Amino acid sequence: MGDCCYVNPMVRRTFRFLGVYVFGLFATDIFVNAGQLVTGSLAPYFLSVCQPNYTALSCQDTVHFVSQSDACTGDPDDIMRARKTFPSKEAALSLYTAVYLAMYIMSCIGSSGGRLTGPLFSLSLVSLAVLTGINRVAEYRNHWSDIIAGQVIGGAIAVFLVAFVVQYFKKRPVIPQSPSDEGTANTDEASLQMNHTVETSNKYIAAQVKYTC
């Protein structure tokens, strides 16, 4: 009966690891989407997808409101994506994945595979995430501020999850004392009390005999 309900510790740890990782992905995505909707920052390539209609704008000295449909003639979906670049979602998700994996490896595996294996693997993951952000800037898809803000969000969520959740993966449950051990301890205590009582009685009898003599 007990063998049927037994779960391999490695399988249980893997499911917990994946569950926390997926939860962190959703949390990172929510924070990034909220920041993009609030800021509405324009991408470096915004004018190329907007394709402004300068004739309809009719620039004048007086200030007047111009709607997006009048100002831009490009694809509305591309324009909407170009309006939401701060913080960068790609930078946030890539650094979140790298930091989460790196810290998980260092906290759960440690130096069991060698003193340099874990640090080198962790450094490689973080370096790839940083290069992803640099590549986004080089291709004029994001500003530096977009990349830095996204990496801060992703890294902060990963550190939080590892510090408050993954650390508990290493803890082992305390094995409770079995009833047989408790019975043995109680028997030993009763034996000590009985020996003390017998010793006291012998001392009393010896004192009475000496007094009678």
Q: Which pLDDT value is given to residue 104?
A: 79
Q: How many CA atoms lie within 13 A of 110 on its CB side?
A: 4
Which residue is associated with the tokens 């650094």? 95
Domain ranges across the chain: 9-41+84-170, 179-213
Residues 104 and 17 sit within 8 Å (Cβ to Cβ) = yes
pLDDT score, position 69: 59
DSSP string, 102-137: HHHHHHHTTTTT-TTHHHHHHHHHHHHHHHHHHHHH
pLDDT in tens, 60-100: 555 555 555 567 888 888 888 888 889 999 999 999 999 99
Whether residue 70 contacts residue 53, with contact meaning beta carbons closer than 8 Å, is answered with yes
The CA distance from 130 to 147, in Å, is 9
pLDDT of residue 131: 94
The two structure tokens encoding residue 69? 């449909």
**Long-range interactions of 199-204: CB distance < 8 A, separation 24+:** none
Supply the pLDDT for residue 212. Answer: 42
* pLDDT at 52 (0 to 100): 82
pLDDT mean for each 10 residues of the chain (213 residues): 59 81 92 91 88 69 57 84 90 93 76 68 90 92 93 93 70 49 53 61 52 41
- Which of 87, 81, 100, 77 is closest to 25 using CA atoms? 100
Q: What is the mean pLDDT of the chain?
A: 76
Which pLDDT does position 166 carry in this prediction? 65
Q: Under a CB-based contact definition with an 8 Å cutoff, are residues 121 and 156 in contact?
A: no
